[in-house]
Structure 1
Amino acid sequence: MNIGFFTDTYFPQVSGVATSIQTLRRQLEAQGHRVYIFTSTDPKVKKGTLEANIYRFSSLPFAGFKDRRIAFRGAIQALQLAKQFDLDIIHTQTEFSLGLMGKFVARRLKIPVVHTYHTNYQDYLHYVANGKIIRPAGVAVMARGFMVGMTGVIAPSIQTFNVLTEYRVESPIEIIPTGVTVSHNETEDHSAELRTKLGLTPDTPVVISIGRIAFEKNIEDALSAFAAVLEDIPSAHFVIVGGGPAMATLQEHVQALEIEAAVTFVGEVNHGEVYSYYRLGDVFLSASTSETQGLTFIEAITADTPLVAIESPYLKTVVTDVAIGTLVDEPEELYEPLKAYLEAKLAQAPLGDAQARERVLYEIDERTFGRKVLDFYSEALAVYNEEEDTEAADAKDEEYARSFLRNPFRKENHD
């Protein structure tokens, strides 16, 4: 099968979306399929750089979200490439420029187009004019408008499925959690060297946070919980991996809490180093309430690092034992389980049933993910109807695109 991924976000951008796409690509190719990625240009990739089966289109930073890109041309070139590759199906991964381009190409080639809805944009509106232009109710208009005409939609979690149902998305929706690598070998684990590099002893209890340093991640609350634990366990250390717009604010918060000596900001790291950082931690801590699934959580599970996080419908399905982690309702409740895991580290007495983790690994395995998406593609190909009213579909997409260039989310549009 020849498959085209259309996405505004891909490596070297650091995001869960990029990681999910890379994971799926690897699994599809491992089963003999060909995957072509249509994405935006990136300042970190020199013009003219040859990347196998990756095609980049001229783009600009997205307003209010400077490390994300929006392509401003290339639809005809993308159509020509898609014809050349004889694509069987198109899978869009974002709802903006490349997503619309993917719909356009699929319509011209008369092939099915499916979509993964990765992001709950209601948690990100503050990036665009402090939330004054796009309102939460407008997100439903945007999502519903973009997914008109999709052969099918993938929701990475039950939480996302419920959101799309509330938005009244009409295309068939299937829940397929994004998978991760669950089988690692010892040569991938460099956590001991990292401890030495960071000035930590083998006995130092380490809290780890990995991900984008953004306001919606509520890392300030995680730091406040850590500061409280530090009074009981003064040898503890918090390692924060990642970069993003909230970095300066977060550093100021650390200073205000007077815990600078116990917190290390590592910044962004290469993807190949991430597993070692998970292994470095004795507990993975998150106060985020914006995750539709949260790849960092399941990556922590594969590294055998218990997590402490805010409860969500998805996490409730995988965090089934204290060996895997502990979920709380409010950030103020992070203190007790965080302290418990660090005390367990000091006592060399892991909490919970070690076998419980093994039981969840199958569902989050990237191989399971790849098989489920392939089955979804087969269903899409079987039900696809070539007799779509192309002019009407184009008109709807044009209206969607125009609405994003002005302010479409007026009160009267929120039907």
Structure 2
Amino acid sequence: MRVGIFTDTYRPQVNGVVSSITTLEKELRKKGHKVYIITTTDPDAKAIEPNVLRIPSIEFKPAPQYRLGLVYSAKIIKKISKLDLDVIHCQTEWGVGTFARFVATKLEIPLIHTYHTLYEYYGHYIFGNHLKNQRKKVAAAISKFYCERCNELIVPTRKVAVILKSYGIKKEPNIIPTGIYVDKFYRENYTDEDREFIRESFGVEKDDFLCVYVGRVAQEKSIDVLIDMFSKISDPKCKFMIVGKSYGDTGDKLKEQAKKLGISDRVIFVGEVPHEKVAIYYQIGEVFLNASISETQGLTFVEAMVAKVPVNARYDLNLEDLLVENEAGLVYRNEEEFIKNIKKLKEDTEFRKKMIEKAFTVSMDYTAENFGNRVEALYKKTIEEYDSSESFTLFRGEKFIQQIRRWASPKSSDRSPWRK
């Protein structure tokens, strides 16, 4: 098959959507499929990127780590037509996502959409602390507008399927969790000496009980909730390490919070670490903590499970299938349960051992290979059932398209290897 993946976010950016796309891209190519990435320009992107077409974009001011791509360009559609795509897989609801729908309709190619982001949890990037009550309505309207205009819809968990249904979306989604390359997180990749060295370099002693958080340090991750609950643990040998890049002033606010609570000596801010070193930071901990309820899937939970580190996470529907039903991790609904879970993992070694074993077994269903197989099967089904007489484009008026063409004056990126 010849697959076109359309996305607003791609390498060199680092986030869950990029991880999902690059994993899928690699797995499809291993199966012999031709994969093209249609994405936004990025000042930090490589000059030459085989099979990547970067279209004009601008920085998204409220969240500079993201970019908004052009929604229409007849010239770029002409380039894409030469690729003879069998299927278009859209990964965004915004600029490039809108463009993907124009391309799918114009070239009569089946369109599959993956819904990655629960926008009601990210409204602060756009509205700040305003319009909190309206965010869910805005998120529902945006989601419904895009999700019903595709041939097939993919969501990573049952949680997202339930939320989209609550938005009034009638299209039945395909639940396909993103996979990871599990071998990268195996404990066998490091020695006990390697893990001890990392701990010692941050002042963590052998008899300290270390809780770890690995992921983006951003407002929607609710790390402030973790710090507040952790402050109620008085044991000086219990420490909390936060690993990940800070966005905006979130990191500074969390450091100030820890200082006010009097636990600065027990909360360790590591910052961003090289991608290839992430796995060992899970492994140096005795328990992985998370309080986010904004996750559509939460790959960090799976990564911790593969690394054989018990999970203690704030209850959310996406954890029902992953942790609760399989007894593969602990969840809490309040501060009391949070502390109780940590105490249980610290004191009951047999319970801890059994949970680690169950979690590792469950995590093996979330491999990159399984992810690739499931998406490939959906591609084949969608192509077979595609009816070109159906149109899922956002706008159908010729006058509107002509207006879009007049707006779309910027030329394709000079960085694109397809530029001619």
Residue 12 of structure 1 and its aligned partner are, at CA, apart by 2.2
1:44: which partner in 2? 44
Matches within 5 A, 1:6-405: 6-45=6-45, 49-72=47-70, 75-130=73-128, 131-132=130-131, 135-184=135-184, 186-187=188-189, 191-229=195-233, 231-245=234-248, 246-320=250-324, 324-331=328-335, 333-343=337-347, 350-389=352-391, 393-395=395-397
Contact 1:150 1:171 (C-alpha < 8 Å) held by counterparts: no
The CA distance in 2 between the partners of 1:392 and 1:32, in whole Å, is 32
Tell which deviates more after alignment, 168-177 or 378-387.
Answer: 168-177
Q: Which runs of 5+ in 2 are unaligned?
A: 405-420
Structure 1 pair 294–349 and aligned structure 2 pair: CA distance change class (3 A): closer
1:413: which partner in 2? none
- The structure with higher relative contact order (CA 8 Å, sep 6+) is 2
Structure 1 pair 274–74 and aligned structure 2 pair: CA distance change class (3 A): farther
Structure 1 pair 225–240 and aligned structure 2 pair: CA distance change class (3 A): farther
The CA distance in 2 between the partners of 1:282 and 1:6, in whole Å, is 39
Contact 1:227 1:257 (C-alpha < 8 Å) held by counterparts: yes
- Identity across aligned pairs (percent)? 32
Tell which deviates more after alignment, 3-12 or 59-68.
Answer: 59-68
Residue 233 of structure 1 and its aligned partner are, at CA, apart by 4.5
Contact 2:89 2:112 (C-alpha < 8 Å) held by counterparts: yes
The CA distance in 2 between the partners of 1:243 and 1:220, in whole Å, is 13
Residue 220 of structure 1 and its aligned partner are, at CA, apart by 0.9
How many residue pairs get matched?
Answer: 395
Q: What is the TM-score of this pair, normalised by structure 1?
A: 0.86
Q: Secondary structure at the match of 1:8?
A: coil
The CA distance in 2 between the partners of 1:349 and 1:179, in whole Å, is 27
Contact 1:154 1:173 (C-alpha < 8 Å) held by counterparts: yes
The CA distance in 1 between the partners of 2:43 and 2:335, in whole Å, is 37
Tell which deviates more after alignment, 277-286 or 354-363.
Answer: 354-363
Residue 188 of structure 1 and its aligned partner are, at CA, apart by 6.0
Tell which deviates more after alignment, 131-140 or 359-368.
Answer: 131-140
The CA distance in 2 between the partners of 1:66 and 1:300, in whole Å, is 29
Contact 1:72 1:97 (C-alpha < 8 Å) held by counterparts: yes
Structure 1 pair 389–228 and aligned structure 2 pair: CA distance change class (3 A): closer
1:206-257 Cα shifts (integer Å, max 9, x gaps)? 211111212121111101222222x125353423323213122111111111
Tell which deviates more after alignment, 387-396 or 58-67.
Answer: 387-396
Residue 356 of structure 1 and its aligned partner are, at CA, apart by 1.6
Q: Root-mean-square deviation (CA), in Å?
A: 2.8
